[in-house]
Structure 1
Amino acid sequence: MALFLSIFPIILLIYLMVKRNALPSYVALPWIAVVVLIIQFIFFGSDIAVVSANIAAALIAVQTPITVIFGAILFNRFSESAGIIDILRKWLGNINPNPVAQIMIIGWAFAFMIEGASGFGTPAAIAAPILVGLGFPVLKVAMLTLIMNSVPVSFGAVGTPTWFGFSALNLNEEQILQIGSISAFIHSVAALIIPLMALRLIISGQEIRKNLAFIYLSIFACVIPYFLLAQLNYEFPALIGGAVGLLISVVSANRGIGLAQTQGEASVAELPPKALMKALLPTAMLIAMLILTRIPQLPFKAMMNDATVWFSLQLGSLGIFEISRGLILSLNNIFGTSISAGYKLLYVPALIPFIITVLIAAPLFSMSLSGTKQIFVSSLKQTRNPFLALVGALIMVNLMLVGGDNSMVKIIGKSFAQATGEYWTLFAAYLGAVGSFFSGSNTVSNLTFGSVQLSTAEITGLSATMVLALQSVGGAMGNMVCINNIVAVSSVLDMNNQEGNILKKTVLPMLIYGVIAALCALFIIPIFY
């Protein structure tokens, strides 16, 4: 009964979102949160203070994804108003008007690099509007960017899912490095197939075959440095791999290497270099800020994450409100429990880089004060529905984690592990994907299920580093189907009630990704690791 009641809300949520006349996520998710709340009180007998504290923590935690979404929408609206999207479209047409080249440059290599610098669903939020501006269909672009943004994710945000996601397991440096190495190997194998599946959503099979040489050139340009660096480091593989891949992809497309001729190439108007440099400036500022604030060797990351308390105030029974030197706003000991939640004002990629970039760039593009105010207001209005969806999602997640080892999430994980035994390698990645589906984060998935995966490996005699690598890969491939990311990219592209349709299309590549991971674990990894 415990297992049934733990899985029931997930099945109900999927049904409500993919059925005919599906409910939009901002309606379905809050209702599912209510269902989980009822199950917690009636069946699990959870303490009201603990449940209330988790709901309050979710309301605080939702500020992280919603401000990132707001920042991405704001940057997109600014880019449209300032004419940047139009110039970038013309520039990509000058590089090569071939749609395959444009998708691989923006949807693959550029997003790969942004994932390495930032994570938080930022790559799809930045890449998708550019692709839509180039004339690609909105819904299919949303699906493509979600599928493409999977290979680099285990090393997203300067490797956070790997080095922080497994931090509670007391692993040594060598073990963490090996987990990263195995993860990169599996992702590299998956990269041979997954980008083609994403392309097929927009490009015909015939066009893919004609441009296959360029597609694999772009894939290998990212994946080879990514895999090689992962043997030595678990922070920079995605960032460096994406940067190298982007450079090679742009140069190759400019020279037409591996690309079929596209009609109308000669008619593309020449773009003045000064106009292009000006149009690229906001994006360059965005990337520079992300990189400078994510590299541990520079002082900015430590400053923005400085948790030393600067201001503290007791808010009655609600908890202790604190502001740190790094401007981390937190509420601790919520309702007298050990539960805390916070918001990193400077580190979450919202104020820096999105809002700051728009405020700096607006005068450079002669945007009036009233025009700037208007894009802020319209962007804020566009975040209303995703806010409701994410509040529901995070309350659901937090409540399903109540109970520690006896939580609904852990019951699901343990039941799966017990049912499969030594064949767990076939399913380990899917548990990681379940974690991402819930939380919208490879890091949170690793934190949540890392201990289950490790104990399963120890009980069954499987390699602990291999199983944990499968967990990390699963958390990355779960990005395709996680509610937070689907809501985010739908919001940025201003689509309504399309979450179910997106989920239907992204679930198949995710399932195939898991098969690839399992085959690697069974037949290839034991030979080399």
Structure 2
Amino acid sequence: MYTFLALAPILVVFLLLVVLRLPAKISMSAAYLATALLAFFVWHASGAQVAAATVNGIIVALTILFIVFAAILLLNTLKESGAIIAIRKGFMDISPDRRVQAIIVAWLFCSLVEGSSGFGTPSAIGTPLLLALGFPAMASVMVMLIIQSTPVSFGAVGTPILLGVWSGISDKQDLAQSIAPTSAENYLLQITANIGLLHALVGFLIPLILSAFLTRFFGEKRSFIEGLKVWPFALFAGLSFTIPYFLVAKYLGPEFPSLVGGFIGLLIVLPAAKRGFLMPKDIFDFAPRDDWDKDWLGTLDEEQYDDSIAPKFTLIRAFSPYIIVIGLLIVSRVVTPLKNFLVGDFTTINLANLFGTTISSKIQLAYSPGTILIITSLLCILLFKMNRQAVKRSWINSAKTMIAAAPALLFSVPMVQVFINSGSAADVATSLPAMPILLAESAAGAFQNAWPLVSPWIGAMGAFIAGSNTISNMMFSYFQWSTASQIGLDSSHAAQVVALQAVGGAAGNMISVHNVVAACAVVGLIDKEGYVIRKTLLAMIYYVIQAGLIGMGIIFGDFWWWILAIIWPVVFFVLMSLTSRKKAIN
């Protein structure tokens, strides 16, 4: 009964948002109410605990809205300055094929962004860039969410591992005894290498999947196969990222795999693409805008671009704001003295022990990607010599879009925080664990020796709920290790299970409610969050199943698991192709 009740908030979200496709502000307000009532009356969390979790959620939501505003501001600044015309023309000169553009912008460029910053920044930067290139708003969001998988585990200079997994495995006496004489630090490096290998084996197909999803859901023919026709270039781009990504994870640790993988991938793929290497023979483009489904469109005004007109600026000058953003993100995350200042007491507002609970919150605007985006937008005024009216329009329009997105986030994030903090602080002997922990324990009891197959789903559930791979790893890394030990796995194989947790947590970002809400908000796609999740859920299912099958093959060494791991992507592609054919016939 308690397992079902703990599952109820997730079921409410899935039913209202995904099945009934109600707006997120309605779905998440209902989910928040259900979660708060369960936490208070069934889990016996105190009123102060629920209130503190709610306030913490509101603070987090406001920081996300700050990033949303800053991302839209940069886009509007580029529009008002005319720089976006040069950027569009630059990408069109590489290839007019939308599949190729999506792979370069989302998979390579935004993986580099993920590696330097994380925390939703790739969507904040990449989604409006795809929109400006002429993608439908919903297509832009879908593409960006699908790539929020492989690079996520090593996003923000390795934070999901260095903070998330580390908090789960450090200072645990039973774990230390099991891995002796290996230190916890070296064990973390072993887990890191496992994560890099799993992601590389699963994620190299992501460029092909996002290309096929693009043609399946947004092409005139609604054809999955049309996207697969770009397979030589997609696999080339996939391997150009995942090979250096894995090598860095194995030999250098968790800080730089995504950042280096994205950078090297761009160095390899961009020159090759400009020379026509492995380019598709047919060019895929969207139908005329008048033929688009109304659900694809956001509230941002339609912009008319004429790529035949000589751009107002050179491509390097026009693209320089993105170079500035990447540079500032890397410097602020890698240069330790600067990072310590930006997250230090002088620049941080700490709200400790809200309402007398153990829940604390903090506001770090100086360290927020939003601040870097705003600084860059201000530099653009000088860089592009913008007049006062253009600057005013960009700020006003950005504020309007942010306000429209606020209701959904102001319910979804508090719901998440109440869910995570639902454990009772009363009598430890009789209290229930927090809802996500109880769900994980129930799953472990049900699946036993098939646990590596299930482990990625637990990570994905944590990210879906929390909107963060880091928090998912914090909640479940030690639980995953303990479950692996209880079913008789040695410490080496238990490290594989913890790696499966991190990989599943990364994949869960594709459907995380507040990630979806934030990404939609950046392009003005309000009240269409459920439509997006219905699409990205399919990509997430591929990812977690494939990770589980490979995990079973590595841990148990059974040849048949490897056969299934080869068969599953084929089955996935065939099923998606059949659905697109059925759609075309209908």
Q: TM-score, normalised by structure 1?
A: 0.91
**Map of 1:357-506 to 2, 5 A cutoff?**
357-400=376-419, 401-403=421-423, 406-462=433-489, 463-506=493-536
Identify the residue that residue 329 of structure 2 maps to in structure 1.
290
Deviation at 1:461, TM superposition (A): 2.2
Contact 1:98 1:259 (C-alpha < 8 Å) held by counterparts: no
Identify the residue that residue 164 of structure 2 maps to in structure 1.
165
Change in Cα spacing, 1:195 to 1:526, as seen in structure 2 (3 Å) is: farther
**Map of 1:240-259 to 2, 5 A cutoff?**
240-259=260-279
Contact 1:155 1:161 (C-alpha < 8 Å) held by counterparts: yes
Identify the residue that residue 508 of structure 1 maps to in structure 2.
538
Instruction: Tell me how far apart the structure 1 counterparts of residues 531 and 399 of structure 2 sit (CA, whole Å).
Output: 25
Instruction: Tell me how far apart the structure 2 counterparts of residues 149 and 338 of structure 1 sit (CA, whole Å).
Output: 31
Matched, 1:60 2:99: no
Identify the residue that residue 318 of structure 1 maps to in structure 2.
none
Two-structure CA RMSD over aligned residues (Å): 2.3
Identify the residue that residue 11 of structure 1 maps to in structure 2.
11
Q: What CA deviation, in whole Å up to 9, does each residue of 1:30-58 have, x standing for no partner?
A: 22111111112222222122222222222
Instruction: Tell me how far apart the structure 1 counterparts of residues 227 and 310 of structure 2 sit (CA, whole Å).
Output: 28
Change in Cα spacing, 1:526 to 1:83, as seen in structure 2 (3 Å) is: farther
Segments of structure 1 that go 5 or more residues without pairing to the other structure are 307-323
Question: What is the count of residue pairs matched by the alignment?
Answer: 506
Identify the residue that residue 237 of structure 1 maps to in structure 2.
257
Matched, 1:181 2:208: no
Instruction: Tell me how far apart the structure 2 counterparts of residues 205 and 25 of structure 1 sit (CA, whole Å).
Output: 28
Q: TM-score, normalised by structure 2?
A: 0.82
Deviation at 1:100, TM superposition (A): 2.8
Q: Supply the AA of the counterpart residue of 1:11.
A: L
Q: Supply the AA of the counterpart residue of 1:391.
A: L
Q: Supply the AA of the counterpart residue of 1:178.
A: Q
Identify the residue that residue 202 of structure 1 maps to in structure 2.
214
Contact 1:94 1:270 (C-alpha < 8 Å) held by counterparts: no
Identify the residue that residue 310 of structure 1 maps to in structure 2.
none
Matched, 1:275 2:314: yes
Q: What CA deviation, in whole Å up to 9, does each residue of 1:72-103 have, x standing for no partner?
A: 11111212222222211101112222333212
Deviation at 1:426, TM superposition (A): 0.7
Q: Supply the AA of the counterpart residue of 1:276.
A: L
Instruction: Tell me how far apart the structure 2 counterparts of residues 138 and 118 of structure 1 sit (CA, whole Å).
Output: 23
Moved more, 453-462 or 248-257: 453-462
Aligned partner (choices 245, 259, 267) of residue 226 of structure 1: 245
Instruction: Tell me how far apart the structure 2 counterparts of residues 80 and 268 of structure 1 sit (CA, whole Å).
Output: 14
Instruction: Tell me how far apart the structure 2 counterparts of residues 515 and 19 of structure 1 sit (CA, whole Å).
Output: 22
Deviation at 1:371, TM superposition (A): 2.9
Aligned to 1:330, what secondary structure does the other structure show?
A: strand
Deviation at 1:268, TM superposition (A): 7.8
Change in Cα spacing, 1:175 to 1:304, as seen in structure 2 (3 Å) is: same
Q: What CA deviation, in whole Å up to 9, does each residue of 1:319-377 have, x standing for no partner?
A: xxxxx22x1112112212232100111112111x1011001111322223343233223
Deviation at 1:381, TM superposition (A): 2.1
Aligned to 1:139, what secondary structure does the other structure show?
A: helix
Instruction: Tell me how far apart the structure 2 counterparts of residues 154 and 15 of structure 1 sit (CA, whole Å).
Output: 29
Contact 1:180 1:234 (C-alpha < 8 Å) held by counterparts: yes
Contact 1:166 1:446 (C-alpha < 8 Å) held by counterparts: yes
Q: Supply the AA of the counterpart residue of 2:339.
A: K
Segments of structure 2 that go 5 or more residues without pairing to the other structure are 171-183, 216-222, 285-305, 425-431, 559-586
Q: Supply the AA of the counterpart residue of 2:200.
A: S
Instruction: Tell me how far apart the structure 1 counterparts of residues 557 and 485 of structure 2 sit (CA, whole Å).
Output: 20
Deviation at 1:271, TM superposition (A): 5.8
